Amino acid sequence: MSKEFPKNFVWGSATASYQIEGASREGGRAPSIWDAFCDTPGKVEEGHNGDVACDHYHRFEEDVKMMQSLGLKAYRFSIAWPRIQPDGKGEANQQAIDFYNRLIDCLLEHGIEPWVTLYHWDLPLSLQIEHDGWLNKDMVKYFEKYARICFEAFGDRVKNWITLNEPWCSAVLGYGIGAHAPGRVSADEPYIAAHHLLLSHARAYRIYKTEFAHQGGTIGITNNCDFRYPLTDSTEDRAAAERSLEFFLAWFADPVWKGDYPQVMRQRLGERLPQFSPDERKEILGSSDFFGLNHYSTMMASEPKEGQEQVSDIAGNGGMIDDQNVHLSNDPAWQKTHMGWNIVPEGCRDLLKWIDQRYDHPIIYITENGCACDEPDKESALNDVMRKDFYESYLRGSRNAIEQGVDLRGYFAWSLMDNFEWSFGYKRRFGMCYVDYESLERTPKSSALWFAEAIKQNGENI
Ligand code: GBH
């Protein structure tokens, strides 16, 4: 069997605006829902926020040089909507356009291909306050306008676009269990928010394909999914694992690749699940040039037994336990990351195969994969053997999937550098480069040096 990744395999790393930029009150940026969430007592560890973060806004040149020194072919970052349109709907803020122009130009000058996410969770706060954010269908037209501004300003140089990052997180963590901004807790709102996120994605896709076709780029959506193995071989447990993946990934991917929500969701949720009109169905069906996947972990799924205790938190089901009727558990043999997430590289391979089969062999990019390690000091961080092993094993799983026919075209490590890990603040480190939050100095960890070597050899060291 060949030991090679495909030629032109995209080797990259990823970040997101709110997690790294800082400069939260500079350049005409207005607050996002995450600024407000951080200001809400008890929501983020130690009251951390993105005011400074990695100060990437001021240090992007140094960061691009670091990327070049690692040999990265591509860099995935997100644009802060509240920089581009401080109120979420008005004219573009020129200072923001200038900032992203400088970043994009700098990347291209250093031979790094920009992959740009339009929305990685930092919704302009005024859209939340005045319009209830993603609960309002008007978001489709606001997102359309924002997307158009970005395509117009950057599309001459940016050829790879991602509309939304992980709408599951926006819907479930943001509107279901309140672990993310805007911090709402509801049983029904996730389905409504998800519906409007999907329609917004589809609209941006159509705008790009019609008004900006001459730019000749590709555009898609990135979904997140953890894999599920059936706990036993029983029919019930196998059905539970399948149902769990449908409630997690097919919820967002079926509309795009099949034109509607999965049957099992309709059966179990009835009227609680919104409907696509015939026109909307047409707009959403086929609205992604590739399958963007963020993947981190795996759990066991089984049919719940009488009186079995259910965990309802950020882990696993995202609280939607009655809706799914799936019990999740861990194999005690699995090692865990500093997030407590199971390290299961074969789950990565099997999820890729699941996607390949269900969606009829799409082009796939892993747009995020990585792990948090407990790194109490710089020395331990720089010696991050566990992260190197994580990348290596997940990349090996990915290559197995490729060998079995999956059309995986690229892999972006999360993350280029330690950053603001949402509700965990700066208390979790995902970076392949270490960030000293006092001096803001960056230092590549050993996993970054290993990744650089992997890029150089197109993965032959894996
Ligand atoms: C991504 O989301 C985000 O896009 C990124 O911004 C973030 O920094 C990064 O991951 C790291 O968190 O508890 O074992 O059931 C990750 C989405 C959803 C992945 C929940 C892990 C729970 C695993 N996550 N899932 S478990």
Assessment of whether the complete model's pTM goes beyond 0.85: yes
- What is the predicted pLDDT for the residue at 310? 66
**Tell me: domain 10-300+333-456, CATH 3.20.20.80, correct?**
yes
| Interstrand relation of 160-165 and 218-224 (parallel, antiparallel or unpaired) | parallel
- What is the predicted pLDDT for the residue at 188? 96
Ligand 1 pocket list (CB less than 6 A) = 16, 165-166, 169, 224, 226, 294, 296-297, 299, 315-316, 341-342, 368, 414, 421, 430
- Give the H or E element holding residue 41: none
Give the position, in ligand 1's atom list, of the atom nearest the Cα of 419.
8
For residue 329, the cross-strand partners are 300
Nearest Cα to Cα of residue 301 among 358, 270, 347: 347
How far apart, in whole angstroms, are the C-alpha atoms of residue 31 and residue 124?
6
- What is the predicted pLDDT for the residue at 313? 47
For residue 222, the cross-strand partners are 165, 292
- What is the predicted pLDDT for the residue at 314? 44
Nearest CA to ligand 1 atom 13: 315
Question: Which of 44, 294, 296, 327 for mutating ligand 1's site (highest number of atoms within 8 Å of CB)?
Answer: 296
- What is the predicted pLDDT for the residue at 443? 99
Q: How far is the CA of 256 from the centre of ligand 1 (A)?
A: 22
For residue 300, the cross-strand partners are 229, 329
Low-confidence ranges of the chain (pLDDT < 50): 1, 312-314
Assess contact for 323 and 257: CB atoms under 8 A. no
Assess contact for 46 and 421: CB atoms under 8 A. no
Q: How is the chain split into domains, by residue range? A: 10-300+333-456
The residues annotated as belonging to the active site are 166, 368
Cβ atoms within 10 Å, residue 376: 8
- What is the predicted pLDDT for the residue at 225? 98
Q: Classify each residue of 108-143 as buried b or exposed e, where b means 16 or more C-beta atoms within 10 Å of its C-beta.
A: eebebbbbbbbbbbbbbbbbbeebbbbbbeebbebb
Q: How far is the CA of 296 from the centre of ligand 1 (A)?
A: 7
For residue 160, the cross-strand partners are 115, 218
Q: How far is the CA of 320 from the centre of ligand 1 (A)?
A: 16
The C-alpha angle 140, 143, 146, rounded to 5 degrees, equals 155
- What is the predicted pLDDT for the residue at 292? 99
Query: What DSSP assignment string belongs to 312-377?
Result: -SSSTTTT-HHHH--EEE--TTS-B-TTS-B--HHHHHHHHHHHHHHTTS--EEEEEE---B---S
How far apart, in whole angstroms, are the C-alpha atoms of residue 128 and residue 170?
13
Give the position, in ligand 1's atom list, of the atom nearest the Cα of 330.
14
